[in-house]
Amino acid sequence: MVRFSQYVVSILSLFLWGEPEVPPAEGGCLLNNSSALTATNQRSNASKSIAIVGAGSAGLAILKTILDLPQETRHGWEVVLYEQRRNVGGLWLPDPNEPQPPKLPETPLYPRLRTNTPHPTMTYPGYTFRPHTPLFPTHEYVEQYHVDFAVNNNLTSYIRLNHTVHSAGWKGNSTVGEWVVEVHHTNGEVKSITKRSFDHLIVANGHNHYPRIPKFQGTDEWLAHTPTGTRKREIEHSIFYRYPERYVNMTVLVVGGGASGRDAVLQVGPIAVKTYHSLKEDKEPTPDANVTVVPRISHFTRTSIVLVDGRSLDDVDAVILATGYEFLVPFLSRPSSDQDASVGLVESPKTTLNCTTAPTLITNLRYIFPLWEHIFSLSQQYPPTALSFVGLPVLIANCPSDIAQALLIAHALADPSTLPSRAEMLADLVAQESRLRERGYDPYYAGHKMVGGDDDAQAYQNNLVRYLKQKGRLPDDGKDYVEPWRRIARKESFLLGRAWRRIEDNGEADKWLDGVETEDQWADLILRLVNWQRKHEDKYGLHGSVYVGQPWDESGF
């Protein structure tokens, strides 16, 4: 890739007063005039410059993996991670403010969120949760895990907090060029804008931030006609859900059988006057939920919500749309402030283009294509290593998967010949899509979902790492990337959920957790718990039904 030039200018927002802040570390001057944005043009001496966007699980994984490359490989590289929020952790970092719809909150996190998977399965390989972390921890533990990972691996000096990537456009052609990246830095009231270029852009912006809101006929009319003497009718997406207590005295309809919908009915069900759960035909009711299961919504009228079977619900006060999220990367789809730079990702919800006909990278809001292995953009506009994604797969244990993806990216940055040619990657993608079709899935609807669940998710990760071994980039130990104990823990996560509930009910958590620190010890605990619970259930002929989940699945709608 070419040496790049670097444009660094900061300006003070027009709205702001007070002292200018200290210039960003890249150097650059503070101006109050955006037409002066390109006033300076500094050259960096870095041999390769890489921008990562997002400090959630995925962004931290790629940052750590790049820094783990041998010193001689990454000599002279500059790596910057931009995170718009005040700390690392991504969606596990709580929003300090209550949601105020329609303004999107910083995270969908709600106070009573616990993981739905045992934490040893959620870890970056080799990096455990702190000793004594409950097996199904509350969200605070997961947040702490991410902070610990960043701090203990010395990642923080590479991370710019409170820095939002506003736009990124590609200036160049299919073989050479650079990303022109505009970054907005907010610190209290002072805001500065930095514009500079990078050779590589790695997107780790998460995919639980832009709600998918289905359109039903008649909602406006229904909302406008709250019966007298009751709470004002409302329809909100689950991204705004925080406290079940809000629904006391209300009759609630939860739409969608993904993880958010199941959690919402479990929390709201016992408190609300009445709770309905609207599910697609293929979705299982949630065990132990105090709800009335109903089919999909057809439309709304002034008085009622009409279901597809013709029934009407006349008593609903609040609708929670747990209808999932859209795959969007707004900063990649926004016109660049540099007129010579082109948009890197086109939003096109109704497109009929496919991976062979798409002239650019496209998101149809469910699927970003064409991407090789859900990672590298095959857009003709720029080279395949110019733009990569970490964390797109759904229905997968994300941290281990993020690392498997990150290994491939790091080695491809070090040596682009790690990757097959663009034509080979495209052929691969076409073949993969056609295999999905043979299994009855539309790849442009299934998107980044691991449709076959754990088996597919594990094969995906194993294949990424096996590829690097075959290429000689990683030593071949003859083993699969996903360790046997992780496979078992995922397969038995329901059983483990029942085991853990029994242990917590008996107040025996500490007894089991004492002395469990290393990854091997956590793995051993998992196997012991599986045996212990299975013996118990066999002995008493129990078939527990506690819902604890499969990997987080937002595709319930």
Using CB under 6 A, list all residues that contact ligand FAD.
Answer: 53-59, 82-85, 90-92, 108, 113, 115-117, 122, 164-165, 204-206, 208, 260, 331, 391, 397-398, 551-552
84 binds, among ligand NAG, ligand FAD, none (CB under 5 to 8 A by kind): ligand FAD
The pairing of strands 200-203 and 305-307 is: unpaired
28 binds, among ligand NAG, ligand FAD, none (CB under 5 to 8 A by kind): none
- 20: Cβ–Cβ under 8 A, 6 or more apart, which residues? 12, 30, 190, 192
164 binds, among ligand FAD, ligand NAG, none (CB under 5 to 8 A by kind): ligand FAD
274 binds, among ligand NAG, ligand FAD, none (CB under 5 to 8 A by kind): ligand NAG
Question: Residues 361, 258, 218, CA angle at the centre, nearest 5°?
Answer: 85
CB of residue 438 to ligand NAG, shortest distance in Å: 13
Can you tell me whether residue 77 is helix, strand or coil?
strand
CB of residue 105 to ligand FAD, shortest distance in Å: 11
The span from the CA of 39 to the CA of 393, in Å, is 41
CB of residue 437 to ligand NAG, shortest distance in Å: 9
Residue 122 or 525: the one with the smaller Cβ distance to ligand FAD is 122
Residue 115 or 555: the one with the smaller Cβ distance to ligand FAD is 115
| DSSP secondary structure letters along 234-264 | EEEEGGG---GGGGBT-EEEEE--SHHHHHH
The span from the CA of 487 to the CA of 490, in Å, is 5
Beta strand residue intervals within 95-233, DSSP E: 159-160, 163-172, 177-187, 190-198, 200-203
CB of residue 440 to ligand FAD, shortest distance in Å: 26
Alpha-carbon Rg for the chain in angstroms: 25
CB of residue 524 to ligand NAG, shortest distance in Å: 25
**Closest to 148 measured CA to CA, from 131, 163, 165, 135:** 131
CB of residue 120 to ligand NAG, shortest distance in Å: 21
Which two structure tokens, joined as six digits, stand for 493?
Answer: 């996560």
Looking up tokens 């009407």, which residue turns up?
312
78 binds, among ligand NAG, ligand FAD, none (CB under 5 to 8 A by kind): ligand NAG
Residue 36 or 217: the one with the smaller Cβ distance to ligand NAG is 36
CB of residue 352 to ligand FAD, shortest distance in Å: 29
**Closest to 164 measured CA to CA, from 219, 107, 82, 240:** 82
CB of residue 218 to ligand FAD, shortest distance in Å: 29
Helices marked H in 416-492: 422-438, 443-446, 454-470, 484-491
482 binds, among ligand NAG, ligand FAD, none (CB under 5 to 8 A by kind): none
91 binds, among ligand FAD, ligand NAG, none (CB under 5 to 8 A by kind): ligand FAD
Taking residue 187's Cβ as centre, other Cβ atoms within 10 Å add up to: 13
552 binds, among ligand FAD, ligand NAG, none (CB under 5 to 8 A by kind): ligand FAD
Contact set with ligand NAG (CB under 6 A): 31-33, 35-36, 45-46, 76, 78, 86, 153-154, 161-162, 173-176, 187-188, 248-249, 270, 274, 290, 354-357, 430
How far are the Cα atoms of 1, 4, 408 from residue 176, in angstroms, in the given order? 6, 10, 21
